[in-house]
Structure 1
Amino acid sequence: HKRSNRSYLKARQITWIPLSDSGCGTLAVLEQNEAGICLFRSFDWNDGLFDVTWSENNEHVLVTASGDGSLQIWDTAKPTGPLQVYKEHTQEVYSVDWSQTRGEQLVVSGSWDQTAKLWDPAVGRSICTFKGHEGIIYSTIWSPHIPGCFASASGDQTLRIWDVKTPGVKVVIPGHQAEILSCDWCKYDENLLVTGAVDCSLKGWDLRNVRQPVFNLFGHTYAVRRVKFSPFHATLLASCSYDFTVRFWDFSKPNPLLETVEHHTEFTCGLDLSLHNPGQVADCAWDELVKIYNPSCLAVPV
């Protein structure tokens, strides 16, 4: 089971049930082959699962983030319970990400308890806690360029940049006049990030000058739930929203909205772009569907 067939799902191949006293969550690992998409493995947990990330050094290992304040490490080659469970957050863990920079094997998590935590899976406990946000942390994303650097987006309306080698926050950006639900790093510019917020907008930020955004993208009619930069195009990104749509943008163009896809009947909450196929996208929604498709704006010229 090659990782190349599954890696573009790695940030969102998860089905979850809203939290309740008797609720549970399911991690669904999906595989793409000649016959289409099929369920490769599923794992149940006793509370809702909000996020998942693939290991960067083992194609069988994943980490999930749960509503009970814990993280779980799973091995798809071992269809049993989790290999490890870390329970240090005091409220829901809403985001988890595995570092992609060379030489690092670190995980960062963000929680409703307003903290981010750094984990080394070889240690079995958190090795650092980052405090400073004054609201729920919705997103924690490693820089693909700078070792030990990650961004966090929060309900306190700020985007923050952290360096694991130094205490305290490195940069605070009051990005929106609304809760920020998602952020992502540009794959081609170490200084460029994008945020998506409850105010329905996306904003680009250059870390060399954060006094004002370098671009603003408008079009969504409800909160922006997820933003992702393209791995293949420096100025292209995608967003999904509670308005049921996925939108594709090129912020370098006078008319940046390239395409709007509306193929879900509920809130669209998950989104990723393939790392191996330049034209392929996966998304998911509250209608319990995962869709994999090739939007026309990403078609590769022949």
Structure 2
Amino acid sequence: MNGPRPPPAVLHTPGFAHFSIAWSPFHTTRLALASSANFGLVGNGRLHLASVAPAPTGTLALTLDKQYETQDGLYDVAWSEVHENQLVTASGDGSIKLWDVMLNVGNLPIRAWQEHTREVFSVDWSNIKKDVFVSSSWDGNIKLWTPERPRSVLTLHGHNSCVYQAMFSPHQPDLVASCSTDGTLKIFDLRAPAYAPTNNTFTSPLSAAVLTIPASGTEILSVDWNKYRPFVLASAGVDKLAKVWDCRMIKLQETGNVGGACETQLLGHEYAVRKVQWSPHRPEVLATASYDMTCRVWNTVPAAGRPQLMYIHDPHTEFVVGCSWSLYDEGVLASCGWDSRLNVFRV
């Protein structure tokens, strides 16, 4: 945390607040950015495609390559794991859209789905079963999709309120973790008999999570799987804490719910933590983005006498709601916020 810091590469998109960033799993320098007008409250959205490259000064530089307009705000974006030029977006009108960035005819999506009845707040593509992705919505449902099908494959209804995020396990292809306004983390096993497909046009709402973690007394806004430790999750939310959970350490809570053991709590943000993401390069490193206008990097298992907090990135002038590690360049982190700025910097 000491010493001079090189300035971040910045991409400014006036009029559009950013909600989510995703690095391409195929192209080392390509990013996608989900954005909304009027802070996502009302109005249209925009999908930005950007690329980052070394600048002559030795720092990084960002370039806006392409953008797509949408009729409603965009809250999340995920790249396909099978097609290098395709990605899906989550929209405030309840729709999910599939885009091909090499097709310029009309700048329209190549497929759209409309099953969620409220805002779709997250999308995540499986990096094991590479032909499926999952969505979560304020309608309380989690849905499993494949691009070739006009309807969802499965519907999970394990929460009775808004599901802010649902994520595939990077280790087990049939495990999905979710977080909600109800203060719980849940893990679903898609192999469970309760999730057998039905003959209905739409898949029936299903429940029975295999594990429920009462993680907070307030809303949980984000969850992520550790990339190296198969049953370790991070969560964060309105209580201003990021927490690390070991789901193998099962214990009976006073409430009667079954949950995992909390390994550590990361205290330092001044307001709600909107996003957590584990490093794809180091098992102990976690990034967080917060409404306190900072993005922070933590060592969850520091050496004796060393602090957990490793780095604070604070050039943003509004809520920071997204962060994402580069998949190829260790130590490069992207952050985005309601100040209409995408920052890419080295930690």
TM-score tier by shorter-chain length is over 0.9
Alignment of 1:113-192 (within 5 A): 113-166=139-192, 167=194, 168-192=208-232
Q: Which amino acid aligns with 1:185?
A: W
Deviation at 1:212, TM superposition (A): 3.2
SS at match of 1:14: strand
Asked whether the equivalents of residues 104 and 147 of structure 1 are also in contact (C-alpha less than 8 Å), the reply is no
* Contact 1:116/1:131 (<8 A) preserved: yes
Shift of 1:217: 0.8
Deviations 1:16-43 (A, max 9, x none): 223455x100000112245632111111
Query: Equivalent of 1:91, from 108, 118, 138?
Result: 118
1:3 equivalent among 8, 23, 27: 27
Per the alignment, in what secondary structure is the counterpart of residue 169 of structure 1?
coil
User: Normalised by the size of structure 2, how large is the TM-score?
Assistant: 0.81
Work out the CA distance in 2 between the residues paired with 1:212 and 1:107.
Answer: 28
Give the distance between the partners of 1:33 and 1:241, measured in 2 at CA.
Answer: 26
In 1, the alpha carbon distance for the partners of 2:66 and 2:225 equals 30
TM-score, with length taken from structure 1: 0.92
Deviation at 1:169, TM superposition (A): 1.1
Computing the radius of gyration from Cα coordinates, the structure with the larger value is 2
* Gapped regions of structure 1 (runs ≥ 5): 296-302
What is the aligned counterpart of 1:280 among 317, 326, 332? 332
Equivalent residue number for residue 52 of structure 1: 77
Q: Which residue in the other structure is 1:235 paired with?
A: 284
Q: Distance in 2 between matches of 1:284 and 1:274?
A: 14
Coordinate RMSD, CA, aligned: 1.5
SS at match of 1:100: coil
Q: Deviation per CA, 1:92-129, whole angstroms, max 9, x where unpaired?
A: 0000000011x441110000000100001111210110
Residue 49 of structure 2: which of 29, 33, 50 is its match? 29
Alignment-derived partner of residue 253 in structure 2: none
Q: Which residue of 1 aligns with 2:108?
A: 81
Measure, in 2, the Cα distance between the counterparts of 1:33 and 1:211: 41
- CA distance in 1: counterparts of 2:150 and 2:227, whole angstroms: 30
Q: Which runs of 4+ in 1 moved over 6 A?
A: none
Higher normalized contact order (CA 8 Å, seq sep 6+, divided by chain length): 2
2:308 to 256, 259, 263: 256
Secondary structure (helix, strand or coil) at the match of 2:262 reads coil
